[in-house]
Structure 1
């Protein structure tokens, strides 16, 4: 198959089939080079058409808490007082830049996730 940009779903499926045929190519062979080119084209198409959005910052914090067995009290060094932790996790207060820095440095939560916009809880007026 002639190498060309992947513009449609049909092109995408054809490229995947081409990759499948080349999958067992010997290293440093012409087929291995073709495989790399096709994989690069598929990766570019998928990044454009199947982009995965960054997770919600609060959901990311909750996930890290659950996966590491952390409690709200464990977040106090990164967010502040117990009340402040509750406000942030209940979406009544936004994360500050300092909180984001501390969560990133201390818990390894990616800063690019923590800086994503997210909705705060609506307050009764």
Structure 2
């Protein structure tokens, strides 16, 4: 029976999932462990997009950085 995954709803689950990903980092793609890693990474990416959005740089800061 396929494993059921749930969205990450809080910081505790987020951190637990990151720890689990660390343990699966060397999993071979296409194996059950590799599939689990792929799903967990997708869930973490969704959580991070929602809770840690990356703001575009200020245009003047970008120009200053490029000129430096």
Same fold (TM over 0.5): yes
**Superposed displacement of residue 54, structure 1:** 0.9
What is the TM-score of this pair, normalised by structure 2? 0.85
**Superposed displacement of residue 50, structure 1:** 1.1
Q: Deviations over 1:1-37 (max 9, x none)?
A: x621101001101111211121111222111011000
Counterpart among 15, 18, 33 of residue 13 in structure 1 = 15
| Equivalent-residue separation in structure 1 for 2:50 and 2:15 (angstroms) | 15
Q: CA RMSD in A?
A: 1.6
What is the TM-score of this pair, normalised by structure 1? 0.49
Gaps of 5+ in 2: none
| Number of residue pairs matched by the alignment | 66
Q: Deviations over 1:45-94 (max 9, x none)?
A: 1111111211110111111111xxxxxxxxxxxxxxxxxxxxxxxxxxxx
Gaps of 5+ in 1: 67-125
Larger radius of gyration: 1
| Equivalent-residue separation in structure 2 for 1:17 and 1:58 (angstroms) | 38
| Helix, strand or coil at the partner of 2:16 | helix
| Equivalent-residue separation in structure 2 for 1:18 and 1:42 (angstroms) | 11
Which structure has the higher relative contact order (CA within 8 Å, separation 6+)? 2
Counterpart among 23, 26, 29 of residue 28 in structure 2 = 26
